[in-house]
Amino acid sequence: MDCRNGASGRPAPSSAGPTGGSGSPASRTKTRDLTVGEVLSSFTDGPETGIFTDGASEGNPGPGGWGAVYVVENEIVEEAKGADPYTTNNKMELTALIAGLGMAPAELPIDIYTDSQLIVNIVTKWADGWETRGWTKKSPGPIANLELVKGAHALRRQKPLARIQWIKAHSGYRWNEYADALATSYRRQVH
């Protein structure tokens, strides 16, 4: 998750010290965008198998990007990224999750990681109820990004063995940092 120039929604930094995980350097992605090469040479911690997704926006709304990477035992199986000139962080997070769900094999259990607790809750807790009520919430107001929510929900149903998990942002976990580098790559191409 990344909303530079706006409220980030990121958890407060850990009091565990200057390293992320169990020994990787503390993430530099909080202060500057890293390339995927810099991520691979800097970080080693975190899960070695799974699908990692991330979205970013500069301003909220503003230009943004998303990234997803599928890895098995630290080897990249597939990756995807995209950008939008005027979007929100949540749209990019949902777009990344949809791409990640698309990568997930239907016949194998797999963890799909996102650093957005909101997106985890939307897809794993709230979407079923919203669908039951005709895609309305109990509280007043529309469901934000409804078409993306419906898309993520439908894909999750098609991939019942995929487990959507939260992973802490910018804590030095290699493949989450990699997904962040994919999501923020639009900045390196635009600026």
Q: Give catalytic status of residue 147 as yes or no.
A: no
Q: Give catalytic status of residue 115 as yes or no.
A: yes
User: Of 21, 55, 67, 82, which one is the catalytic site residue?
Assistant: 55
| Integer Cα distance of 105 and 117 in angstroms | 23
pLDDT value at residue 189 = 74
What is the number of alpha carbons within 13 Å of residue 120 lying toward its C-beta?
17
Q: Give catalytic status of residue 170 as yes or no.
A: yes
Q: Give catalytic status of residue 2 as yes or no.
A: no
Residue type present at position 85: P
Question: Is the per-residue pLDDT at 99 higher than 60?
Answer: yes
Cα 80 to chain centroid distance, Å, stands at: 12
Q: What percent of the chain has pLDDT over 70?
A: 83
**Whole-structure pTM value:** 0.83
User: Of 93, 100, 153, 177, which one is the catalytic site residue?
Assistant: 93
pLDDT value at residue 180 = 95
Cα 56 to chain centroid distance, Å, stands at: 9
Would you say 109 and 161 are in contact if contact means Cβ atoms under 8 Å apart? yes
Specify the CATH superfamily of domain 3-7+31-190.
Ribonuclease H-like superfamily/Ribonuclease H (3.30.420.10)
User: Of 20, 21, 46, 170, which one is the catalytic site residue?
Assistant: 170
Q: Which of 98, 95, 100 is nearest to 82 (CA)?
A: 95
User: Of 54, 79, 84, 177, which one is the catalytic site residue?
Assistant: 54
- The residue among 18 and 29 whose pLDDT is bigger is 29
pLDDT value at residue 167 = 97
pLDDT value at residue 31 = 59
Would you say 85 and 63 are in contact if contact means Cβ atoms under 8 Å apart? yes
Q: Give catalytic status of residue 38 as yes or no.
A: no
- The residue among 2 and 83 whose pLDDT is bigger is 83
